[in-house]
Amino acid sequence: MGIEISNTPNPNALKFSVGVDVGGPATFVAGKETDDPTGAALVGIEGVTSVFMSADFVTLSKIPEASWETIAPAAAQILEERFG
């Protein structure tokens, strides 16, 4: 199906629809350890502050100074490798 990226009302958050169950609900926060490989990879992207996974989507939040132009492709690649 591919990953669909949607804006949210919050300019510092993007929704990534993956089309399959991602588990959860689960939240991952930058700086906190997790044994979930997908959550760890996503929150490890520079500028990402948190990751929320539930149903068939993932929402990433970022610091205001970070750019979606670098975060979104990296996140989409991780999600495609995991759920694609």
Reported as a single tens digit per residue, the pLDDT across 11-46 is 999 999 999 999 889 999 999 999 999 999 999 999
Strands 26-29 and 48-54: antiparallel
Percentage helix, strand, coil for the chain under 3-state DSSP, each rounded to 5: 25, 30, 40
Q: The whole model's pTM is what?
A: 0.94
Domains, in order of start, for the chain: 4-83 (3.30.1370.70)
pLDDT at position 77 is 96
Q: Give me the chain's average pLDDT, please.
A: 95
